[in-house]
Structure 1
């Protein structure tokens, strides 16, 4: 099929792994980026390959500009020309009231969620922009309904970081639309993953979220992967600078 290569940051687990599997099924070669869990990244690659797709794992911290440039080079060398990017890597930061937040924790949160997203987009645009010799492509950033709702108690800084991702998505879409690059975001609600496990295992937490969700269930990683796949696809050729909410109605 040969749709080109998509880099998926934080592709080793949860939503990222589901996105990798879904995009591979669409015919993309998938570069599974991970920060530390090489075993989980290898498992994602194995799942893609078992289904007949092409994937390779690449280690890089999204907040490390030098490592990112090397990762994009290595990925396109191994798998073929870049077609797109999914910025899925993210951190919730520390669960704490703002009055108890630590500057170092905040710096790391924004380095990963905001600066990391911007730096990855920079690498993608350098390779995709028709003005820079590329063939165009698509970028999908992962936001959260926290950007609109302010986040769970103790996660206001996380919500702020996702608000920044949505503003950046609109700004970059305006900038690179004329260069053949579409940029959109997906804002998940509460999805069952390793990342939300700690919160959902608290007494009554799961029940409260389900009760507050019109569709009456938590989301699954595949729910998000479907939206990402659509935004990446030619079916969304006239869609850019927008946020698709996948939250069961929250």
Structure 2
């Protein structure tokens, strides 16, 4: 029987790359999405075409009732949970702190922090008595700060780093590992929309002199889920090209 993995925000970008890569390792993957049903079903189709097992599951991870429903649905359709990749997130409208209003701030906090906590809670509850792994997707901005445009986003990712450290110590005696991957600038839709000259300047600031690919982040995530990382918990793994 395949191990069952929930990937939140699995319809696009890093989440989709993680879902596809995890399926290659034999995980049965639940591809979570909030609104992008067609894209989630496309990821599921690709996994199935390659001989894997996958389902698409809709849920707004910032809502407690929907998170509980999602995990119940996954276990009904695929079996007992084996792992979670907390990836669903929003960047929010960029801008300096003095321009961030309450609704914009709450959206970023609700999805990026509350959602991660709720999903981690449900995963821990369902992994009780069995070994399993949780990988949180944070950001290098948790350490860099995001001054000028993304302080609010960076602050939510710093919270996820702390969640990783605290939860890993809490559940390690129960055989549950919790780690974190912190991507740098990755070639997702957010960055693809930037002008070419801006991207060129960004690349110059990265020691490896290029923007990363979602598949490179996925390799790190899936490795941390695997038995090859069996003695690793509470780790914050940077995937940022040296930046």
TM-score range, shorter chain: over 0.9
Tell me how far apart the structure 2 counterparts of residues 79 and 71 of structure 1 sit (CA, whole Å). 12
1:151 aligns with one of 146, 155, 169: 146
Q: TM-score, normalised by structure 2?
A: 0.98
1:1-250 aligned at under 5 Å gives the runs: 2-130=1-129, 135-151=130-146, 153-198=148-193, 201-202=194-195, 204-250=197-243
List structure 1 segments (4+ residues) > 2 angstroms apart after TM superposition. 195-198
Tell me how far apart the structure 2 counterparts of residues 236 and 93 of structure 1 sit (CA, whole Å). 33
Tell me how far apart the structure 2 counterparts of residues 203 and 219 of structure 1 sit (CA, whole Å). 16
Deviation at 1:80, TM superposition (A): 1.3
Tell me how far apart the structure 2 counterparts of residues 99 and 112 of structure 1 sit (CA, whole Å). 21
- Report the 3-state secondary structure (helix = DSSP H, G, I; strand = E; otherwise coil) of the residue aligned with 1:204: helix
**Is residue 11–residue 43 contact of structure 2 (8 Å, CA) maintained in 1?**
yes
Tell me how far apart the structure 1 counterparts of residues 147 and 233 of structure 2 sit (CA, whole Å). 28
Tell me how far apart the structure 2 counterparts of residues 129 and 182 of structure 1 sit (CA, whole Å). 12
- Report the 3-state secondary structure (helix = DSSP H, G, I; strand = E; otherwise coil) of the residue aligned with 2:222: helix
Deviation at 1:173, TM superposition (A): 0.2
Tell me how far apart the structure 1 counterparts of residues 24 and 82 of structure 2 sit (CA, whole Å). 15
- Report the 3-state secondary structure (helix = DSSP H, G, I; strand = E; otherwise coil) of the residue aligned with 1:215: coil
1:69-128 superposed Cα distances (whole Å, 9 cap, x missing partner): 111011111011100000010111111111110111101100000010000000100000
Tell me how far apart the structure 2 counterparts of residues 8 and 203 of structure 1 sit (CA, whole Å). 31
**Is residue 146–residue 152 contact of structure 1 (8 Å, CA) maintained in 2?**
no
Change (3 A) 1:152 1:219: farther
Count matched residues.
Answer: 243
What is the root-mean-square deviation of aligned Cα atoms in Å? 1.0
**Is residue 145–residue 151 contact of structure 1 (8 Å, CA) maintained in 2?**
no
Q: TM-score, normalised by structure 1?
A: 0.95
- Report the 3-state secondary structure (helix = DSSP H, G, I; strand = E; otherwise coil) of the residue aligned with 2:94: coil
Unaligned runs of at least 5 residues, structure 2 = none
Unaligned runs of at least 5 residues, structure 1 = none
Deviation at 1:215, TM superposition (A): 1.1
